[in-house]
Structure 1
Amino acid sequence: LVSSARSEGITAFTADALGENHEVLRLFADLGLRTARRFEGPQVRCTIHLDQDDAYLAAVEARGRAAGVASLLPLLRPSAVAVVGAGRTPGSVGRAVLNHLRTGGFTGRLFAVNPRVESVLGVPSHPSVAALPMTPDLVVVAVPAAGVPAVAEECGKAGVRALVVVTAGLDRMQARALLTACRTHGMRLVGPNCLGVSNTDPELNLDATFAAGHPRPGTAGIAVQSGGVGIALLDGLSRLGIGVSSFASLGDKFDVSGNDMLQWWESDGRTDLALLHLESFGNPRAFSRTARRVTRRIPVLTVDAGRTDAGRKAAASHTAAAATRTMTRQALFTQAGITATRSVGELLETAALLHSQPLPEGPRVAVVTNAGGAGVLAADACAEAGLVLPPFTPAVIDDLLAVLPDGATVGNPVDTTAVVSEEQLAECVDRLARCSGVDAVVVALVPTAVAAATGDDLVRALTTAPGRRARPVLAVRLEQDRSVELMPAADGGTIPSYAEPQAAARALAHAARRAAWLAQPAGTVPALTGVESERAREVVEEYLAFHLEGGWLDPRTCAELLACYDVPQLPWAWAECEDDAVLAADRLRGFDGRVVMKAHWPGLLHKT
């Protein structure tokens, strides 16, 4: 109502309420708008000024966030779940979901819906949703595509509040009917074409998926469009010991999106790490606004999927969504502070570091190794990832030489030699971790016969110390089988260990960029004047009318569009012949007599 009134030029509301009507008066106060009250006998006249400021925008955002999270409760914290399409055929998706719910220890009521059987896997079966003894909060739909719209309509009429549709292959009419049923009856929808959802809270134990196994309870939230990527992340996080707080396979993403899941994790009190795999963004502006807020509280990581034309075509074929273009997506991630990786493996490697170690204060890395060659590889990897290996001060060099064996070289990398003892290595790493000229320590180790003969365990030199120190400490073990592991430390924490120095360097570079982003002020949205949005819209629409597929604006149209938003531009002129060019150059030349010339021809770009 406020937005509509403001668009019509209305500047204030007046309202009369009884002085004892505290609920209504509190409603006015909570709007986030400047409100003046005047008592007139038993009544209070409230004047609500509609000027928009940061307080109002914050109140609107908070209300929207609370409503969004509340709408997900039937989906992620249901008290009763029904699976429609669970049968007796081994290998059927519906049966697999029902089995996961049963064996996962779901603490609520569980039902199957199948008119041909009385029970499935020991779970009571009923002929229809309407015939259930109670209305479930959540219904998982695993029927053929042709039957999905009817099931959705039946669920809506029965009062179901959330659907997970795992069925794939809906045509346009079926998809429209499904979405219409959900919107008409106020049901939240995950899918279609998805793996399902889970919530590992021990008070709930919800696993409504058909993944190979149950996720390990933990603190990472996962939202993916690809079920295959979801399975890989569930397995990887469980293996690392990080575990999962909640999981949503969004599939074709008709309704519930990554934006919804970010808001859920922000408020669930269990999630300290968010992992996303999104091939498209239905509302990039809303996603960016939410992500900027959430990522200041917890790390938000994503796989940058659909970077190429081939990848975008593949995304469109398997989730029916047009992947967002690479430049747009990367700008979105950068602005929102999202850590974007290029593979599932890199995502897990980075998640392991962010989960277990403090953020580095900068890009300065000290490399320690018991083998010179491993140190060279680690140094190269760090430099290629944009990290810096600073030289040590004379005081630091003397400090390290005092604890290292004879023959050790203290440059950067620090080569302790193969004869270093467990105690000497531990002291060296500890001193570097306290050094003010270093932001992180990478320890590259290789097994040697010397250590085996003396009984020294150089890995133990790291794990007997606290898992979290003042600065992050990472291990690189070239003989390690898995790309990343989390080694238990003495204080109950963990230390990330990588099989390749490149993996360690990439993860550390991501952590350094996150620290730099967090160090920037959050900023404010300024009130802009002189903006001609309508004219800008006309410029764009006129261009697109002749270029249906979009494209690069010509210089004059581009300048006109920028001028609509008062974006500063250097003085310029358009010349269509040699004489025009000479006159323009004479008028625009700098103090040194020089000008810049840019050639333009359709299809010819950036020729300056």
Structure 2
Amino acid sequence: MSTAQHPPRSVEALLADGTTVSIRPLGPSDHAAVLGLHAERMSDDSRRLRFFGASRRAPQLAAERLSGPPRPELLALGAWAGGELVGEADCETVPGHPEAAELALAVADDWHHRGVATLLLEHLVHAARQNGIHTFEADTLADNRAVHRVFSDLGLPVRRRFEQGEVRVHVPLDEADEHYREAVDERGRSADVASLAALLRPASVTVVGASRRPGSVGQSVLLKIRQAGFTGELWAVNPYAAEIAGERAYPSPSTLPGTPDLAVLAVPPIAVASAAEECGRAGVRALVVLTSGLDADAARQLMHVCRRHSMRLVGPNSLGIAQTDPAIRLDAEFGGAFPLPGTAGVAVQSGGVGIALLERLAWLGIGVSSFVSLGDKYDVSGNDLLQWWESDGRTDLALLHVESFGNPRAFSRTARRVTRRFPILTVDAGRSPAGRRGAASHTAAAATPTVTRETLFRQAGITATRSIAELVDTAALLHSQPLPSARCAVAVVSNAGGVGILAADACADTGLTQLELPSDLVTELRDLLPGSASTANPVDTTAAVTPGQLAACLDTLSRSRAVDALLVCLVPTALTTAAQDDPLRALLDGPAHRRIPLAAVLLSQEVPVRLLTCADGGHIPSYTDPQDAARALAHARDRARRLAEPPSPEAAAPPGCDPAAARRLVESFLTANPGGGWLDPALTVELFDCYGLPLTISIWTPDEHGTVVAAQSLRQLGHRREVVLKAYWPGQVHKSAAGAVRTGLATDTQVRQTFREFTERFGSRLTGVVVQPMAAPGLELLAGVVQDRVFGPLVLLGLGGTATEVLDDRAARLAPLTERDLATMPAELRGSALLSGHQGAPAVDLAAVQDVLARLSHLATDLPQLAELDLNPLIARPDGVLCVDARARLEPRPSFDPYLRRLRRPAAAEED
């Protein structure tokens, strides 16, 4: 281990019981804390197990070793809670074997069985792997059952060798595979849920800043908590009042008659941090901050207080929260409606959206399990809520309206798991073409916010809608109806031909299948319906249909295996003279739950969507517009298709990848260029070689003579006679647009003339040229990577060449790619037929294209400093692929492991 790459600063993470600890490297200033941990906070037996004896010098020696001057062979991490060191984990490389390290652990006795050692080990595994360590080794006593359990539960393979009462433990870090990540995920989920209990299942609540003024936020929330029938203790805090709206008021959290689990803060911005500090000292475990308008300093203070006192935080700028569990009945939000109890989990960033959603869901009769207005989302996020709903035993539908993702890869990973259990619906907010403006490369131009967001949602199996109305429309269908099959062949039934045609068009617009009905089914329908009815699809029952006839028609279609969903469109007619003649009775008197989903369209209803209550107590969604019903059915079909696909593993690293060499290249470049920048042609070739990417032979030369010699060398190597010259200068991106490319140069004279043209045209900017053999023709593709600051690494594939922006035909996925991603990305292109052979053209080597995507995926995940990488064109032929032009840009960014457990740091609360 030549240089130790410690974490650059402390990070906060959750223990198994939901307590927050800070993890950071140990240093010289920690000597007293390390000594205190080993000498005072560990029993004699714990020290015996740690040091294999009862030496009184052992704690002092440990403190000197762990908190001495930095040594490259030593990695030592400490876990801190409330300013005290509660555990440490360290590893030190074995002399002569820099890839192996001796491991040691110590945890304060009163912090045993809370996951301190396991959490420290996870972070030490990450740091060790970053430093080139492949193996942990440790000597333990056979009766040290606690540490053996830690090793066994870690998720990594453990090999043990017993020798005379001691056990030699060997842990290979290179086998930190999907099984390890799943173990880390499960520990993180369990800790997250434990930390949210005080927020969403509190036994006691205090409103800090409850005002005597009627209509104020603080008093409104206090009243709603009381009116909703909160089952726990409720206290008001106001230093200037003895009573608020009938509740006794206390001057501060420390004077309350008990310790509240949850505090709702409705105080001025300048008082938020101090109020949070008082709550933390009083033992509060969760905060909901309704206050908005915090400046950067107040934000930092608030987050520091919450982390130090182990409090989870919703907000600031939150509308509040609600928990409808009959055992809790907490409504601590200042919206106009009381959420109905039910099974839909709702999380929003916008308070206005939250109010609108709660009102629409209440009007539909869809109840809420829990509601959280995330506000500025300093701490608790949509990812936290997904894990809570996954575990609460009540939620079967999740509705999210979030504008950003703190850790999109963690969010995607959680959502992929949760969507297998119940639907997650969201609004695809923030769609804009503005992301194309100022894009530096073709790949970056392709990675607009819309593309990236849609990619995240699609990969995670999330149902993304375009508006709140569409979200509610889809929720109504998924809440009340079964899913169709993945094919989703829709039968449209109407009592007015024109409406049926509109519904058929709506199905076509949303990509729903409308198959021609089988002849035996057509015959059966003809016998059931009036003589003038049309039994094609759409089925026009005519206005003369009776409720009984319509019900029989729907039952027949429901039983048919040719139909996967029903769209029933009804309009009032002059033939409806009494309630018993109303065709709507066919729906209301029939079963709400059939083998297949049913959506109704009632043009005469006054609201866009409602749930019809059927005789069996179930519900059928009813819409005023066929387009709304068709979109909801299309979302249900997409979810059915997602569930029909088995989970796909991440694509394995192809042979020939050397991430260590790539990291050295990146480190060297950023040392010389602290602000980052574009790699020159030579370094680009070197980076591509680290991952075996198929870049054509490229010779860099700074002068005319060298250019001619390079061209001659390529001809002697047996390449085509023609060569390509590309002018280069630092910061260059689009060569063709700048006129910096000349092709088909067959003679030395042409090469000289072209070099002189470049010199005359570009003057002092020109630093040299790249000489390449002329590539054989093929299908031009674009492949690349962009490291999005919000979503993480994104891999793109599309039709390439100089017209790539005009064609705008691309597929995108968040890295790391799965095996299914490799197969589906080429197939998603509108021009995918060109890859498989079109009008007699030969098919390209699709396996070679997929191999490039796999290599790009691993490059993107290994190198967070890679801001952009562009392969355009990537020429695909039947015999393989070849990139003839490439560029890459690096930025100084810390290494980030998305699977490492840590609490997020919002930008608003970052240190300057």
Normalising to structure 2: TM-score of the pair?
0.60
Q: Which residue among 411, 421, 434 is the counterpart of 2:546?
A: 421
* Distance across 2 between alignment mates of 1:424 and 1:544: 77
Give the superposition deviation at 1:43: 5.9
Contact 2:342 2:368 in 1 (8 A): yes
- C-alpha change, 1:454 and 1:600, in structure 2 (3 Å) is closer
1:406 pairs with 512, 515, 531, which one? 531
Report if the CA contact (8 A) 2:697-2:772 is conserved: no
Query: What is the CA deviation profile of residues 280-302 of structure 1, one whole-angstrom value per residue up to 9, with x for unaligned ones?
Result: 11111111111111111110000
2-structure distance, mates of 1:415, 1:46: 75
Judge conservation of contact 2:137–2:168 (CA < 8 Å) in 1: no
Aligned length: 589
Shift of 1:26: 3.4
Q: Structure 1 CA distance, aligned partners of 2:200 and 2:778?
A: 66
Report deviation, 1:466: 2.1
Partner of 1:63: 187
Q: Distance in 2 between matches of 1:461 and 1:524?
A: 47
Which amino acid is 1:58 matched to?
Answer: E
TM-align CA RMSD = 3.3
In 2, are the aligned partners of 1:100 and 1:208 still within 8 Å (CA)?
A: yes
Residue 27 of structure 1 corresponds to 150
Per-residue deviation, 1:455? 2.9
From the superposition, tell whether residues 471 and 147 of structure 1 become closer, same or farther in structure 2 (CA, over 3 Å). same
- The one of 353, 357, 362 aligned to 1:229: 353
| 1:539–1:561 CA contact under 8 A, matched in 2 | no
Cα distance, 1:172 vs structure 2: 1.1
Residue 217 of structure 1 is matched in structure 2 by: 341
Correspondence for 2:463 among 326, 330, 339: 339
Give the one of 255, 268, 271 matched to 2:395. Answer: 271
Q: What residue in structure 2 maps to residue 580 of structure 1?
A: 743
Q: CA deviation at 1:452?
A: 2.4
Q: 1:39-118 to 2 correspondence within 5 Å?
A: 46-50=169-173, 51-118=175-242
Are the structure 2 counterparts of residues 358 and 597 from structure 1 closer, same or farther at C-alpha, using a change threshold of 3 Å?
Answer: closer
The aligned counterpart of 2:494 is 369
**Percent sequence identity over matched residues?**
54
Q: Does the aligned pair in 1 maintain the 2:349–2:374 contact within 8 Å?
A: yes
Q: Residues 579 and 503 from structure 1, CA distance in 2 versus in 1: closer, same or farther, beyond 3 angstroms?
A: closer
Q: Which residue of 2 aligns with 1:387?
A: 512
For 2:159, give the aligned amino acid: A
Task: Give the Å deviation of 1:39.
Answer: 5.0
State the Cα deviation string for residues 116-152 of structure 1 (Å, max 9, x = none). Answer: 1112122221101111121211111100001111111
* Change over 3 Å in CA distance of 1:117–1:540 after alignment to 2: farther
2:88 alignment partner in structure 1: none
User: How is 1:109-508 mapped onto 2 (pairs within 5 angstroms)?
Assistant: 109-308=233-432, 325-361=449-485, 362-452=487-577, 455-508=580-633
1:449 Cα deviation from its structure 2 partner:
2.1
How many Å apart are 1:16 and its aligned residue?
Answer: 2.2
Amino acid at match of 1:30: D
Look up the SS of the partner of 1:503 in the other structure.
Answer: helix
CA contact under 8 A between 1:535 and 1:564: conserved in structure 2?
Answer: no
Shift of 1:484: 0.9
User: How many angstroms does 1:601 deviate by?
Assistant: 13
1:14 pairs with 133, 138, 143, which one?
A: 138
SS of equivalent to 1:229: helix
| TM-score normalised per structure 1 | 0.89
Judge conservation of contact 2:725–2:772 (CA < 8 Å) in 1. no
Corresponding residue number in structure 1 for 2:638: 513
Query: Counterpart of 1:221 in 2: which secondary structure?
Result: strand
Is 1:341–1:347's contact at 8 Å kept on the other side of the alignment? Answer: yes
Structure 1 position 42, deviation (Å): 6.0
One-letter code of the match for 1:162?
A
* Contact 2:522-2:535 at 8 Å conserved across structures: yes
Q: How has the CA–CA distance of structure 1 residues 273 and 540 changed in structure 2, closer, same or farther, with 3 Å as cutoff? A: farther
Q: Distance in 2 between matches of 1:235 and 1:602?
A: 43
- For 2:165 and 2:292, locate their aligned partners in 1 and report how far apart those are by CA, in whole Å: 61
Q: Which residue is 2:82 aligned to? A: none
Secondary structure at the aligned position of 2:331 is classed as strand
Shift of 1:536: 8.3
Tell me: CA distance 1:88–1:82, structure 2 relative to 1, closer, same or farther (3 Å).
same
Structure 1 residue 309: deviation in Å?
6.7
Secondary structure of 2:215's aligned partner: coil
| Deviation readout 1:310-329 (Å, 9 max, x if unpaired) | 999xxxxxxxxxxx922211
Letter in 1 for 2:636: A
Deviation at 1:236, TM superposition (A): 1.3
Distance 1:168 1:29 in 2: 46
Give 1:199 shift: 0.6
- Unmatched runs of 5 consecutive residues or more in structure 2: 1-120, 437-447, 699-723, 728-739, 747-770, 780-798, 810-871, 874-912
Larger strand fraction of residues? 2
Q: How far is 1:467 from its partner?
A: 1.5
**Segment drifting more, 340-349 vs 28-37:** 28-37
Per-residue deviation, residues 205-258 of structure 1 (Å, max 9, x unmatched): 011111112100000001100001011111111221221000110000000000
Which residue of the partner structure matches residue 759 of structure 2?
A: none
Mapped partners of 1:555, 1:497: distance in 2: 61
Contact 2:612 2:620 in 1 (8 A): yes
C-alpha separation in 2, matches of 1:559 and 1:199: 57
The range that moved more, 241-250 or 27-36, is 27-36
Quote the offset at 1:489 in angstroms.
2.2
Does the C-alpha gap of structure 1 residues 52 and 435 become closer, same or farther in structure 2, counting only changes over 3 Å? same
